[in-house]
């Protein structure tokens, strides 16, 4: 015998019942499911976002093929030998510097002797020497091949903010937080000259590519153009120059123009013969942290905390393209003579950009803190990045050289 059938259809009038409430009869219950009330959301949390953010998986992705993890605190500086593609050096907040070979856990030399943060590192033009500068006011020079100490250079005792080698000789230039600049001869381990004129910390500086001029930038918002032999200088400041401290500078390959960036977000071009501001590159809205000239074209790149990398055409003083990041841009490096440029960001990513199109062609994950510095190996096949996470990571870039 067939049991009675129940009409499960719902008439439109039944659904549209105004204020009348619907109830289930016991006969309507098919199965009871037990629910743990502790797992139920509070009423104010009733709206649950069911979208899965797969970007979180980036935290577990490491695109590097080698990690150097001997530091115990934030790493601030990295340098690669210009002659040995396997040799790199790093320095950090743990008061330590290391000279190490990519891919080897055995060939590691600790650069001992510093008593404070190792803030800056650089190899000489021929790869023979490595210099390490520290907040303890000391610069130590090492024989990169033997691993032995060549000499210890002391200035006024103020923290060493940066150091640069002469492009054609064994001379070291360094800037200090006590507003002084110092010059030494490494071959003879002797002091050559000191330069005074800035009114605050000397935050950036360099030799011109021809080695005949010294440029230094300061937190006093000025640029000084020095004669390295006489110590005489041209002071660049005031309108229409920067209104806040300088953070970075780069000099054109013909040694005629310096491009400077500032905490005020401005970028200016200065004639090194006259000291006159010849142009202003206006586009950034926050501190400009890095600047670098392309070795193969009349372009310069600037990176800023406004999350932008801008490629400028120097001849036209106009932006070619803008490369948007997810967070502030801290450092950059052109990849040899190619059209590609690498950036390090506060979001922990290293990105490769095509300067012709402005497109990001590669993004490297692995770091868990801001990327503070970048260096490219001598063979242009790898890039080394250092981070607040205490590591140096090496990524392959052979497709972009």
pLDDT for 32 equals 52
More confident residue, 362 or 156: 362
pLDDT for 121 equals 98
pLDDT for 270 equals 98
pTM across the whole model: 0.85
Distance CA 35, CA 208 (A): 74
List, in order, residues 6 or more apart from 52 with CB less than 8 Å away. none
- For the record, the structure tokens of 70 come out as 């001997």
Average the pLDDT over 180-204 and give the result.
98
pLDDT for 57 equals 54
More confident residue, 146 or 26: 146
pLDDT for 41 equals 42
More confident residue, 7 or 327: 327
Dump pLDDT digits (tens) for 254-307: 999 999 999 999 999 999 999 999 999 999 999 999 999 999 999 999 999 999
Residue among 344, 359, 336 at smallest CA distance from 393:
344
Q: Is the pLDDT confidence value at 18 over 60?
A: no
Dump pLDDT digits (tens) for 198-224: 999 999 999 999 999 999 999 999 999
pLDDT for 9 equals 41
pLDDT for 25 equals 52
Contact 398/340 with Cβ under 8 angstroms? no
Q: Is the pLDDT confidence value at 92 over 90?
A: yes
Average model confidence (pLDDT) across the chain: 89
pLDDT for 29 equals 46
Tell me the pLDDT band of 105, cut-offs 50, 70 and 90: confident
Q: Is the pLDDT confidence value at 31 over 80?
A: no
Q: Is the peptide bond before 214 cis (omega within 30 degrees of 0)?
A: no
Average the pLDDT over 48-52 and give the result.
33
Distance CA 91, CA 392 (A): 10
Average the pLDDT over 183-203 and give the result.
97
pLDDT for 59 equals 74
CA dihedral 77, 68, 132, 142 (to 10 degrees): -150
Long-range contacts of 182-187 (CB under 8 A, 24+ apart): 182/153, 182/155, 182/156, 183/214, 183/228, 184/139, 184/153, 186/124, 186/129, 186/131, 186/141, 186/150, 186/151, 186/153
pLDDT for 40 equals 43
Residue among 108, 107, 96 at smallest CA distance from 71:
96
Average the pLDDT over 124-133 and give the result.
98
Average the pLDDT over 298-325 and give the result.
96
């Amino acid at each position: 015998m067939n049991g009675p059938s129940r009409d499960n259809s719902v008439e439109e009038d039944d659904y549209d019942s105004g204020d009348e409430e619907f109830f289930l009869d016991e006969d309507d219950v098919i199965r009871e499911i037990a629910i743990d009330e502790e797992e139920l959301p509070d009423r104010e949390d009733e709206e649950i976002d069911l979208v899965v953010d797969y970007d979180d998986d980036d935290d577990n992705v490491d695109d590097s093929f080698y990690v150097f993890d001997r530091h115990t605190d934030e790493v601030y500086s990295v340098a690669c030998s210009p002659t040995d593609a396997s040799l790199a050096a790093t320095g950090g907040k743990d008061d330590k510097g290391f000279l190490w070979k990519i891919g080897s856990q055995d060939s590691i030399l600790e650069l001992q002797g510093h008593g404070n943060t190792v803030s800056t590192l650089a190899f000489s033009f021929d790869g023979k020497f490595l210099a390490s500068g520290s907040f303890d006011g000391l610069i130590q020079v090492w024989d990169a091949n033997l691993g032995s100490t060549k000499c210890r250079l002391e200035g006024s005792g103020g923290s060493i903010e940066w150091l640069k080698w002469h492009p054609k000789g064994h001379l070291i230039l360094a800037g200090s937080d006590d507003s002084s600049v110092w010059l030494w001869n490494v071959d003879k381990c002797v002091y050559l000259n000191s330069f005074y004129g800035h009114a605050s910390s000397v935050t950036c500086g360099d030799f011109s590519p021809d080695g005949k001029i010294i440029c230094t930038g300061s937190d006093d918002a000025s640029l000084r153009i020095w004669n390295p032999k006489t110590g005489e200088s041209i002071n660049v400041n005031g309108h229409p120059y920067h209104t806040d401290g300088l953070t970075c500078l780069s000099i054109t390959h013909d040694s005629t123009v310096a491009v400077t960036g500032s905490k005020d977000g401005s970028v200016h071009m200065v004639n090194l013969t006259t000291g006159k501001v010849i142009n202003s590159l206006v586009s950034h809205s926050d501190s400009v942290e890095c600047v670098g000239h392309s070795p193969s074209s009349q372009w310069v790149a600037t990176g800023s905390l406004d999350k932008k990398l801008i490629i400028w055409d120097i001849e036209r003083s106009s932006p070619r393209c803008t490369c948007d990041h997810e967070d502030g841009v801290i450092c950059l490096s052109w990849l040899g003579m190619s059209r590609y440029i690498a950036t390090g960001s506060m979001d922990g990513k290293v990105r490769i950009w095509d300067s012709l199109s402005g497109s990001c062609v590669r993004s490297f994950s692995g770091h868990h803190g801001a990327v503070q510095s970048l260096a490219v190996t001598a063979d242009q096949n790898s890039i080394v990045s250092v981070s607040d996470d205490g590591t140096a990571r090496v990524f392959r870039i052979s497709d972009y050289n």
